[in-house]
Amino acid sequence: MAEISPTRPSLDVTDRVVIVTGGATGIGKIYATRLAEAGARVVLADIVDDANRQLADELTAAGHQVIAQTTDVSEQAQTEALAQATLDKWGRIDGLVNNASLMAVLGRKPWFEIPADEWDRVMQVNTKGVFLCCLAVYPHMKAQGGGKIVNIASSRVFEGGKWRLHYSASKGAVWVLTRALAREVGEDNICVNAVAPGFTLSETQVATSTNEHMANRQQSDKCFNRDQIPDDLVGAVMFLLSDASNYITGQTINVDGGRSMH
């Protein structure tokens, strides 16, 4: 990352090397696909090996630059291998989208019914995983003169949100991690920001939501009278990966149709 080039559109991500964790399923699949379609070189880092490789094959067949590196972000050796595989392929790491998390697979239940081991696993993936991925790419971004880290938080950090207390707490930690890390890596020309999605109709969300929950969720609090879809989040992510956001760091962009304003 450098100063905005007079010959390069500031929102252009062509040839940027971007890692997307959880990039083959749910909303991450849309982030990865749209980045590849926009000309970025994308590394899919999903834990689901079959989905990871299938999407990589599909995008490569369509003429895009994509590789798959199946990764459990809660394991440091695997996040380090992810960074190395990216360097081996393209020689640099321009962007990291920390999207991998446990959410849709978690049952909706009161906080006092959450098993302690489930709490620990959510924190390992959703919070520790973000830390480990940042740790893995940091020395390479520093050596090359900069980079962009985009963490995926949640609008729950602004509104609270009933059920899935462990998920909400983990995303609150990501929000604060974003701010604190931005303070520490600014001198290395690394931008650290976050995007906070609202309730989004991704494939995994729809598949794990009951008809009753879908029917009863509140819509009236939003400014837009329609459901949020994964593509609604893509613009914010691309903006934070591009030169257009070179002087923005430590910020969280809330993308939930105006339900929560801050």
Q: So which residues are the catalytic ones?
A: 167
Helix orientation angle between 129-144 and 76-90, rounded to the nearest 10 degrees: 30
Identify which of 237, 137, 138 has the alpha carbon closest to the alpha carbon of residue 193. 237
CB contact burial 90-128 (16+ within 10 A = b; e otherwise): bebbbbbbbbbbbbbebeeeeeeebeeeebeebbbbbbb
Can you list the pairs that 110-117 forms with residues at least 24 positions away whose Cβ atoms lie under 8 Å?
110/163, 111/165, 114/165, 114/166
Residues 191, 121: Cα–Cα separation, whole Å: 28
Whether the Cβ atoms of residue 39 and residue 33 lie closer than 8 Å to each other: no
Q: What is the DSSP string of 180-210?
A: HHHHHHGGGTEEEEEEEE-SB--HHHHHHS-
Determine the 3-state secondary structure of 57 from DSSP.
helix
Q: Which two tokens stand for residue 245?
A: 């956001």
Segment (H or E) for 95: strand 95-98
Residues 132, 81: Cα–Cα separation, whole Å: 11
Determine the 3-state secondary structure of 41 from DSSP.
strand
